[in-house]
Amino acid sequence: MNFMPKMNRRSFVVSAAAAGGGLALGFHLPLAEATEGTPEVNAWAVIRPDETVVIRIARSEMGQGTLTGLAQMVAEELECDWSKVTYEFPTPGENVKRKRVWGDFFTAGSQGIRSSNQIVRKGGAAARMMLVSAAASNLKVPAAELTVANGVISHKASGNTVTFGKIAAAAGQLPPPADADIKLKDPKDWTIIGQPKKRLDTPLKVNGTAIYGIDIRLPDMLYAAIKACPVNGGTLKNYDETKITSRKGVKKVVKVEDNAVAVIADSWWRADKARMSGTVPAGATST
């Protein structure tokens, strides 16, 4: 009766999902794999042959619904079928490689949507224009005669249609439109932006497959815990580095500017315990 199984948050949620039978485990492909065999339309959208629309989100989801809100903005201008939308996160390295096509990766103070709505919407609109251009070639009609709705491009006069998934590869080979040529939808015509939608990140959080910052593990990874001066405007007075570094797992103690100390260790627990050990607080008082 005293047996306590070792189980972390993730294994518990995954096991509970499996036992319930109503939840399926899922995963999202890394950026490089998502486009393999499925050429992207542009940096914002990958459309697979099965009509799945992968929207790339370059802001962190911090609980406010930013991820879903930004996806709605891209989907609105793209004119895709929202029920087929999923997402993935590009990396900062990929952003630099592409000359910062996704803009600033900074996420804080509820600025995820406010600071990036124009670039995000233009990304979706540009992808739509490329798809329309590819469809015009495919249907052999002028692009101006085509309309787009729910991931389907239609030519009213002939009754012909083509889906995003059928022409995405061709669209991805076209040059993107010039920024000045991109026209955004009038807010009165919005059908996705501002509408209550189920959050895209909820299923992965429920079934335990969502990856949080705390889940990241890299080879020889180290952790830092910071002790800052509790008084606004105060400066670092002193700290006993010898006592801190002598603790198990602690690698180094680093002064952070003139008002804090960072304890670096081989685990977050050891870094934080060393920070709270009583050897640092003396160095975090005001002068």
Please write down the HEC assignment for all residues of the chain.
CCCCCCCCHHHHHHHHHHHHCCCCCCCCCCHHHHCCCCCCCECCEEECCCCCEEEECCCCCCCCCHHHHHHHHHHHHHCCCHHHEEEECCCHHHHHHCCCCCCCCCCCCCHHHHCCHHHHHHHHHHHHHHHHHHHHHHHCCCHHHEEEECCEEEECCCCEEEEHHHHHHHHCCCCCCCHHHCCCCCHHHCCCCCCCCCCCCHHHHHHCCCCCHHHCCCCCCCEEEEEECCCCCCCCCCCCHHHHHCCCCEEEEEEECCCEEEEEECCHHHHHHHHCCCCCHHHHCCC
What pLDDT, on a 0 to 100 scale, did the predictor assign at position 240? Answer: 82
Give bridge partners of residue 146 from the DSSP assignment: 155
Amino acid, single-letter form, for residue 249: G
Give bridge partners of residue 256 from the DSSP assignment: 260
Q: Does domain 31-207 have CATH number 3.30.365.10?
A: yes
Structure-token match 């103070």, residue found: 109
What pLDDT, on a 0 to 100 scale, did the predictor assign at position 279? Answer: 54
Per-residue pLDDT of 149-197, as tens digits, reads 999 999 999 999 999 999 999 999 999 999 999 999 999 999 999 999 9
| CB atoms inside a 10 Å sphere around CB 124 | 29
Per-residue pLDDT of 111-132, as tens digits, reads 888 888 899 999 999 999 999 9
C-alpha to C-alpha distance for 87 and 57, rounded to whole angstroms: 7
Rounded mean pLDDT, 64-91: 95
Contact in structure between 212 and 61 (CB atoms under 8 Å): no
Structure-token match 């050891």, residue found: 270
238: confidence class by pLDDT, cuts 50, 70, 90: confident
What pLDDT, on a 0 to 100 scale, did the predictor assign at position 187? Answer: 95
Per-residue pLDDT of 12-70, as tens digits, reads 333 333 333 333 323 344 454 444 555 799 999 999 999 999 999 999 888 889 999 99
Angle between helices 164-171 and 117-139 in degrees, nearest 10:
100
Global pTM value: 0.72
Contact in structure between 226 and 247 (CB atoms under 8 Å): no
